[in-house]
Amino acid sequence: MTTELLAPLDLAFWHLESPDHPMHLGALAVFEAPPGAADDEALLDLLATRAAAVPRLRMRVRDVLLPVGGAAWSVDGDFDVRGHVRHLELPPGDFAEESARLAGQLMERPLERGIPPWEMYLLTGGAAPHPATPGGERAGRPFAVLVKLHHALADGMRAVAIGAGIFDQIADARAAGTCRTRPVPPRSWLPGPAQVADLAKDRLGDLGRALGIGASVVRASRLDLRATTALVAGSSGTRRLATAVLALEDVRQVRKAHGGTVNDVLLATVAGALRRWMLERGDQLPDSDPRSDPRALVPVSGRRPSRARQGAGAGGSSGSGNMFSAYLLGLPVSEPDPSARLAAVREAMDRNKKDGPSRGAGAVAVLAGQLHPLAHRLGAPFAGSAARILFDVLVTSVPLPRATLSFGGCPLREIYPMAPLARGQSLAVGLTTYGGQVHVGLVADGKAVPDLGGLAKNMNEELNALLRLPAPTGTAVAVGSDLA
């Protein structure tokens, strides 16, 4: 039986989960079915067929004797794809609102353990099918696919690689044999005599790195938790999803005029949207001390895009473990000037990139990779409660293939990433770029943030404010990479 040990960070995510804080990633992909397209049952059959063809989705987690506290992926001998793929009908109403509402509810539910930890849902209904356009022609019928993958199964980039297996372009390439990955032999956790000395030497090196990274994490931790209560929540276990769409060309215009990267502009947009939203709610803003601003954890993938695309084509397990660290960024919510907010984000991200991802609270992901499996099993309760002293909100950018994508001949129109919430936190922000647009997925604790739609609206308001800023004169503007 093919077996693969969970990487240390995967193991951490597996043990961090609780009923009120499920550790799965998600994405809501919205398609448009043209008149005469396949019916719902045919779409469900196609979704099941595509998912069953991804080898990684047949893997489940099981405990192992060695290493102590460890776990391994193994093929589920009783795998039934129909136990993971379901069809749900939306009630009458606006499709976007109803699909987001249902997606939030479905994200509340932890994935079943003991079987491969993932689910997919085909969401149909809502709006009347094929409404007539002003010209009398029938428009497309929207439907959506919600994908849930446990964070132990994949990081953001790898989740894209796995989820992309449902798209026509990836499935066709796989069927034609043009997408292949090299087979990965099972990992053994019983080293031979010749490996013992090398393992001991590596462990000493790991210990030194862990001590250095751990010291950096401790230095970045906060005893003074002055962040806004809008980003703090108890464990209600409820989830709400709100979405926004930003024009990528607008983001690039701001970047061209004021410098930095696309990601810098998006992070500044998040900061400004939070400020506007807090003012509308009557929340107290952070004071002028930047240390009181909310902290964002900004994940940084350690996976090369070429490897992720290769994995997407085949759905194989090569490099399947979580491979990321994160930067720590103070979101300048206390700053009233949009131009100054953007400049503050640029400067902070430049410092982060100079220092590298092994500095600051974001290095906790690197630290997790240095720890023994037993430490993850025993330390998960503490680690889950410690997120509040490290950061206040997760802001993650998820890359997508640049090609036009479809499912069953139905074009992909929108796709919204959804990130898990850390214990004690009320908001996570996911960003992804597709089709000339930036799609924003806001996941919140449903009881703590019942007005999440207001924050989504303010994403566009803030970007418009950045667009209206006069371009700086008299000095050259440094423009960074277009990559988020």
pLDDT score of 386 more than 70? no
Report pLDDT digits (tens) over 195-238: 434 434 444 344 344 434 344 444 444 544 455 556 877 778 89
pLDDT at 200: 42
The b-or-e profile of 437-455 (16+ CB within 10 A means b, else e) is: bbbbbbbbbbebbeebbbb
**Could you give the percent of the chain with pLDDT greater than 90?**
48
Query: Which of 66-75, 281-290, 335-344 has the highest mean predicted lDDT (pLDDT)?
Result: 335-344
Report pLDDT digits (tens) over 66-78: 777 788 999 999 9
157 or 224: which leads in pLDDT: 157
Mean pLDDT of the chain: 78
pLDDT band at 64 (very low <50, low <70, confident <90, very high): confident
pLDDT score of 18 more than 80? yes
Structural tokens at position 467 = 């667009």
Q: 470 CB contacts (<8 Å, ≥6 apart)?
A: none
Residues 231 and 266: their CA atoms lie apart, in Å, by: 19
pLDDT band at 159 (very low <50, low <70, confident <90, very high): confident
Alpha carbon separation from 118 to 64, 113, 380, 470 (Å, rounded)? 21, 10, 22, 47
Peptide bond just before 373 cis, omega within 30 deg: no
To the question of pTM greater than 0.85 for the whole model, the response is no
Report pLDDT digits (tens) over 230-266: 687 777 889 999 999 999 999 999 999 999 999 999 9
Beta bridge partner(s), residue 86: 121
